[in-house]
Amino acid sequence: MPIIDYHCHLSPEDIANDRKFQNLTNIWLEGDHYKWRAMRTNGIAEEYCTGAADDYAKFEKWAQTVPYTMRNPLYHWTHMELKRPFGIEKVLKPETAREIYDAATDMLQSDEYSVRGILKKMNVEIICTTDDPVDSLEHHQKIKTDDFGLKVLPTFRADKAMAIEDAGFLAYLQKLEQASGVSISSFQGLQDALKQRHDFFHAQGCRLSDHGLETIYAENYTDEEINAIFSKALQKQALSSEEVLKFKSAMLVFLALMDHSKNWTQQFHLGALRNNNTRMMRELGPDTGFDSIGDFDVARPLSKFMDKLDNSNQLAKTILYNLNPSQNELYATMIGNFNDGSTPGKVQYGSAWWFLDQKDGMERQMNALSNMGLLSRFVGMLTDSRSFLSYPRHEYFRRILCNMLGNDVESGQLPASELDWIGQMVENICYNNAKNFFNF
């Protein structure tokens, strides 16, 4: 079945320019913090992860690491990504490294293995990238003009507009002013600028927003308080932690109301403890493999936030992703509080995310959803990836889903007489539900 990848971090510029990667290292190891993390754990120096070592030397160190990843999902992904799209079925290890590297690199020189060629080969139908409100979306526009048979749509992620405590907040506001053409001298100005960008994103086909947060912020606040807090920030006055939380709470509600007004789907990725290693953050920056699972309080603020929106009948379609697996049932039951019959699966418990995006994590997420809700209405898998070779993760998910249901039939927990319906359920989860849920 085709793939709808409704959340990823692929480069729209690479798709617009139909990038051809020079070699297997460029397409496979560039920006892949999963692999870097494993290599560091295996005693590989940073020079071969994010450093200046030559491309084949980096690949060689990855090939040395692969045998040590057995029982880590990287071992499965690595060999699935070699098989599809390259057709390479050999196990990657030091003895096969050169042969595999040369074979894949040779293929990458052909048009069939350009970025667009790979996406077509993997039967990808729709991609939703992750974009900041200040982004020009010029690459999305070029892709749309080219019309190569695949939709590449933006996603509105306004995390930086909420990060009032960050040192770069005022510099970000200047970028937002330039992008929107709206002066930001008050909180109303910030709202007007974001609304202008929200409208622009909608015109470019955007139908989802996303938030990457430790937890949901749901403090009580008044408009007067938020205006005063924003004015203090503009004047570079120090804010208390309480003021920061009030501002974030107000911003979340404002953004959620905009999403509802356009019938978008809002996504919340909750629970990551980011940038734990100060030294490596200083040397390499964020998103380089130094994040982990947090244990933030989420139940009451999440309930309060969603209830506030639902109380005025302004809760948009929503997908909630948790990173802490101890909270699976919490999330799986929370969604039932706000499913109101207006849309099948209006509030979704999202696919296993990040550290949980592996066989055990997927099974636990789907079992929690099955036990507490309707697995049959689940919108299914997404890659959440920065790599164009990550599309076998959809196959991985589909195999795990089929294995779960097949085992249930075999054990008598589901009736063998209903195989047609079970097959339809699989197709729905893998493709049809997402196709019908999002207004692409």
Over the stretch 217-243, which tens digit does the pLDDT of each residue have?
Answer: 999 999 999 999 999 999 999 999 999
Q: Domains in the chain: how many in total?
A: 2
Residues 259 and 229 in one domain: yes
Over the stretch 28-76, which tens digit does the pLDDT of each residue have?
Answer: 999 999 999 999 999 999 999 999 999 999 999 999 999 999 999 999 9
> What residues have CB less than 8 Å from 367, skipping those under 6 apart?
404
Residues above pLDDT 70, as percent of the chain = 100
Residues 158 and 99 in one domain: no
Residues 80 and 175 in one domain: no
Give the model's pLDDT for residue 270: 99
Residues 126 and 31 in one domain: no
The arithmetic mean of pLDDT across residues 187-210, rounded, is: 99
Last residue of a domain, one of 113, 137, 162: 113
Last residue of a domain, one of 113, 130, 157: 113
What CATH number did the domain enclosing 211 receive?
Answer: 3.20.20.140
**Dihedral sign for Cα atoms in the order 68, 73, 79, 85:** negative
Q: Say whether 374 sits in a helix, a strand or coil.
A: coil
What CATH number did the domain enclosing 38 receive?
Answer: 1.10.2020.10
The secondary structure of 208-246 as a DSSP string is: EEEEEESS-------HHHHHHHHHHHHTT----HHHHHH
Over the stretch 108-120, which tens digit does the pLDDT of each residue have?
Answer: 999 999 999 999 9
For 51, 105, 264, 269, 360, the CA distances from 54, given in Å and listed in that order, are: 9, 15, 44, 35, 36
Residues 321 and 422 in one domain: yes
Residues 259 and 361 in one domain: yes
For the chain, what is the mean pLDDT? Answer: 98
- The whole-angstrom separation of Cα 156 and Cα 198 is 7
CA dihedral 271, 272, 273, 274 (to 10 degrees): -150
Residues 157 and 254 in one domain: yes
Give the model's pLDDT for residue 194: 99
Residue with tokens 């195989």: 419
Q: For the whole prediction, is pTM greater than 0.95?
A: yes
Residues 214 and 127 in one domain: yes
Over the stretch 244-263, which tens digit does the pLDDT of each residue have?
Answer: 999 999 999 999 999 999 99
Residues 70 and 128 in one domain: no
Residues 54 and 174 in one domain: no
Residues 163 and 225 in one domain: yes
Q: In which domain, by residue range, is 84 found?
A: 22-113
Strand blocks (E) in 21-89: none
Residues 85 and 133 in one domain: no
Give the model's pLDDT for residue 179: 99
Q: Is the pLDDT of residue 367 over 90?
A: yes
> What residues have CB less than 8 Å from 12, skipping those under 6 apart?
129, 131, 137, 139, 140, 143, 152, 154
Q: Is the pLDDT of residue 148 over 90?
A: no
Last residue of a domain, one of 72, 91, 113: 113
